[in-house]
Amino acid sequence: MTSLPWFLEVLVGSGMGFCSGLFGLGGSSIGTPILRLLGLPTLIALASPLPLTLPSAIGGAIAYRKAHLIHWRIALLTSLWGVPGVLIGAWLTEFLPGLVLMLLTAVFILGVGCYGLSGLRNQTPPDRAQLREQIIPYWSPLLGLINGLLANGGGLLLVPLYQLGVGLELRAALATSLATVTLMALPATIVHAVLEHIDWELTGWLAIGVFPFTYLGGKLALHLPSLILTRLYSLFLIALALYFGYTEIASMMP
């Protein structure tokens, strides 16, 4: 049980959901640094937002499935090769220093911000015969390890892999990443729960804010210039990552 007031936890969840729906980029990633900056223990701040990726990913995957955009073979191959890395990464959090985990989180958020600044490139839908599925066994274990270690659903790593590596066009990469997250986030959640890294009461209050504000953010995104907003949000993520990394290092200094 955390020491934060419930309404503050709902507010954090609302911000996570709104950013996720509005920008489609890293909404869940801001949960850990903000909870940590509010004073929560490292592992609780790291893992408590993780279960919220499951219903969001499932809902998104169902929506994309109706449009026939999910490449299920690619999602299954990624999960097959990635789940062992997820399990190892989640288990390793029990032994790594909290500062290391938080600095890795800061680097991850910085990478998300830089990727968003570069712009999400669309491209012509590829011929299935031209997809580079052979790279999946080489990259999936590493992505799974990062996902388990940082208690992140992994979509922000999977989209670049599918788009730039495998060769999917943007919407198919987003859809397939949601299906993969659905398959990979569950074992990570189970391991972190067994290790007692998840404060389920905190997760519940976050959920109250996340789900309605994800919907509101998505609705608002339909009426706003998304490219400009995404790049502004990316600048915010970069600033958050740098400030969060600085505060973590400063807190360890005498």
Tens of pLDDT, residue by residue over 31-47, are 889 999 998 999 999 99
pTM here is: 0.80
Distance separating alpha carbons of residues 144 and 138, to the nearest angstrom: 11
Residue 55 lies in a domain: yes
Residue 145 lies in a domain: yes
Q: Which domain holds residue 34?
A: 11-251
**What percent of the chain shows pLDDT beyond 70?**
83
Distance separating alpha carbons of residues 155 and 165, to the nearest angstrom: 14
Exposed, middle or buried by CB within 10 Å (0-12, 13-18, 19+), for 252?
exposed
For residue 133, give the nearest of 179, 173, 166, 174 by alpha carbon. Answer: 166
pLDDT per residue over 137-162, tens digit each? 999 999 899 888 888 767 677 878 88
Q: How many structural domains are present in the chain? A: 1
Residue 3 lies in a domain: no
Residue 4 lies in a domain: no
* CA dihedral for 183, 188, 191, 193, sign (positive or negative): negative
Q: Which two tokens stand for residue 5?
A: 């007031």
Helix, strand, coil abundance in the chain, percent, nearest 5: 80, 0, 20
Q: Has residue 196 got a pLDDT over 70?
A: yes
Residue 208 lies in a domain: yes
Distance separating alpha carbons of residues 83 and 145, to the nearest angstrom: 8
pLDDT per residue over 86-96, tens digit each? 999 999 999 99
Q: What is the pLDDT of residue 8?
A: 92
Tell me which long-range contacts 195-199 makes (C-beta under 8 A, separation of at least 24). Answer: 195/43, 195/90, 195/91, 195/93, 195/94, 197/43, 197/44, 197/46, 197/47, 197/48, 197/93, 197/151, 198/44, 198/47, 198/48, 198/50, 198/51, 199/1, 199/2, 199/44, 199/48
Write the secondary structure of 62-73 as one string of H (helix), E (strand) and C (coil): HHHHHCCCCCHH
Residue 20 lies in a domain: yes
Residue 2 lies in a domain: no
